[in-house]
Amino acid sequence: MISLKVIYQTWHIFGLEIKQLNYQGQVLPILLASYVLAQIEKGLNKVVHDSIKMLVVGPVALLITGFLSFIIIGPLALWLGTGITNGVTFVFEHAGWLGGAIYGLFYAPLVITGLHHMFLAVDFQLMGSELGGTYLWPILAISNICQGSAAFGAWYIYKKRKMGKEQGLAMTSGISGFLGVTEPAMFWCELAIKISIYCIYHYIRCIGCVYRR
């Protein structure tokens, strides 16, 4: 298990001691804070009069969410992210074949939500360790190749159906998928032809298992 000991500076606000945590590269704090902000805004819209909504709802919602983010949401989300990172590292160190299968299976859905960025912390920790590299990127490359291949499969389907515009989108999405950018393949091709994305998950899982073995 890889761990880093960090000493944080603190803020003192209204008698509270708040750690100045670093959320760089973190996605979970943003998602949770955005959800809380949306819920607070909805609640304020129900109780604040229409004549002062523009002046009250936005600033008050941001102020409350800001305090909650630094005091509760941020540390909690950072703890969850660290736990996920440690869990992934543990699985790869003790059962590499299983880690490869799980990571390969869920990487594509994580890309859709943007949560794949949180694994950068794992990559950086592994690069700074005795390993001197990361075992996640080869699986990521396999995932991208599978995404691009599925886009080319969608291109073949569109070609048989004589759908000219979709053919062009699928072709360019497949090329970008091979180069590492899979979002066009996901949103323009695979989600439109749902069976192909299920095939992707299956093949990535199998290839991930073989790779880690």
In terms of domains, do 27 and 86 share one? Answer: yes
Considering the entire predicted model, what is its pTM? 0.55
Two tokens, residue 54 = 């523009």
What separation in angstroms does the CA of 64 have from each of 98, 133, 147? 42, 42, 41
- Give, in degrees to the nearest 5, the angle at Cα 177 between 108 and 198: 40
- The model's pLDDT over 57-99, given as tens digits with 9 standing for 90+, comes to 889 999 999 888 888 888 888 788 777 767 777 887 787 778 7
What confidence tier does 108 reach under pLDDT thresholds 50, 70, 90?
confident
Structural domain of residue 15, as residue ranges? 10-128
Q: How confident is the model at residue 2 (pLDDT cuts 50, 70, 90)?
A: very low
The number of CA neighbours under 13 Å toward the Cβ of 73 is 19
Q: Residue 2: inside a domain, yes or no? A: no
Q: Which of the listed residues 128, 146, 170 is the one where a domain comes to its end?
A: 128
Quick check: is 165 in a domain? Answer: yes
Select from 81, 106, 128 the last residue of a domain.
Answer: 128
Contacts of residues 166-170 at CB distance under 8 Å and 24 or more positions apart, as own/partner, are: 166/192
Number of domains making up the chain: 2
pLDDT at 205: 53
Query: How large a percentage of the chain has pLDDT more than 90?
Result: 8
Residue 5 lies in a domain: no
23 and 102 together in one domain: yes
Residues 121 and 145 in one domain: no
Tell me: do 105 and 198 sit in the same domain.
Answer: no
- Report the pLDDT averaged over residues 141-163: 82
- Please report the pLDDT score of residue 169 as a whole number: 83
SS (H, E, C) the chain: CCCCCCCCCEEEECCEEEECCCCCCCCHHHHHHHHHHHHHHHHHHHHCCHHHHHHHHHHHHHHHHHHHHHHHHHHHHHHHHHHHHHHHHHHHHHCHHHHHHHHHHHHHHHHHHCHHHHHHHHHHHHHCCCCCCCCCHHHHHHHHHHHHHHHHHHHHHHHHCCCHHHHHHHHHHHHHHHCCCCHHHHHHHHCCCHHHHHHHHHHHHHHHHHHHC
Cα 17-22-28 angle, rounded to 5 deg: 105
Q: Which of 87, 104, 128 is the last residue of a domain?
A: 128
pLDDT per position as a tens digit, 199-213: 655 565 555 545 544
3 inside domain: no
